[in-house]
Amino acid sequence: MRQIGEINISPIGLGTVKFGRNTNVKYPHPFDLPSLKDLRVFLDLAHALGVNFLDTAPAYGESENRLGQLIAKQRHDWIISTKVGEDYQGSSVFNFSSKHTRLSIEKSMKKLRTEYLDIVFIHCNDNDLENLRSTDVISSLRAMQEKGYVRYIGASTKTLAGGSYAIDNTDLVMVSNTSSQLPILEKAHTKKKPTIIKKPLQSGFSTNIHSSIKKALAHPSVASIIVGSINKAHLRANIKYATSL
């Protein structure tokens, strides 16, 4: 286990896009959404293998709602991160206002059937620096954090400027597994801020899974990497690679 503040978090986290949405996604192969029964078996296996981190978002279709049905009775077994700022209505719609941020968190908690969220990321678009610097989203999340609804806040960023601003103004940052993001990982380590790696397997396009996982987990600032999977064999292999480092 690794650390985000007082949270013990598994080095592999489950990305849950495939739990709730299969339209307008960038995976190499089409897929059907799993049944709730199949997802329950999958989550039980993940937990048995040591995974305790689930990453979801309003933009992931029915993911939050389905997770709420699946883990409500085991809420304390899981670390849950969700997001604010992006919704999916056939295409992505972004809103970083204070009102939308508050309502988004309230909706997420209701769907996830929980009274608190462990981590909330700002789901940035390509203008991530402006999303963070020129809106009320960070201050709104801090207000929700002070009320006890959110334990840690962060941002899922795309640019060096956005990632750097997130490190300075939030608790953690989520970045892609690319060499261009190395300055963000280094700054986070210097500032003693944790990082999360998204798309470590390049949305299924990686040709060397073991190497990709090793690379993503190698930096000392990285607390966990998010792997989106609904395949039990892939899950077992990914966890094996992560725990062999």
Q: Is the pLDDT of residue 145 over 70?
A: yes
Residue whose entry in the numeric block shows the structure tokens 């725990």: 243
Residues of the chain above pLDDT 90, percent: 84
CA 112 to chain centre: 15
Domain that holds residue 173: 2-243
Q: Is the pLDDT of residue 154 over 80?
A: yes
Residues 6 or more apart whose CB falls under 8 angstroms from that of 202 comprise 177, 212
Active site residue 152: no
Q: What is the pLDDT of residues 50-78, one digit of tens each?
A: 999 999 999 999 999 999 999 999 999 99
Predicted confidence at residue 245, as pLDDT, reads: 65
CATH number of domain containing 137: 3.20.20.100
CA distance 87 to 59: 5
Q: What is the pTM of this model?
A: 0.96
Of 25-34, 125-134, 143-152, the poorest mean pLDDT is in: 25-34
Residue of 27, 60, 88, 165 with catalytic role: 60
Strand partners, 153: 120
Looking at the structure of the chain, the number of domains it has is 1
Predicted confidence at residue 60, as pLDDT, reads: 97
Paired sense of beta strands 172-176 and 92-94, if any: unpaired
CA distance 155 to 81: 11
Q: Is the pLDDT of residue 203 over 70?
A: no
CA distance 208 to 218: 16
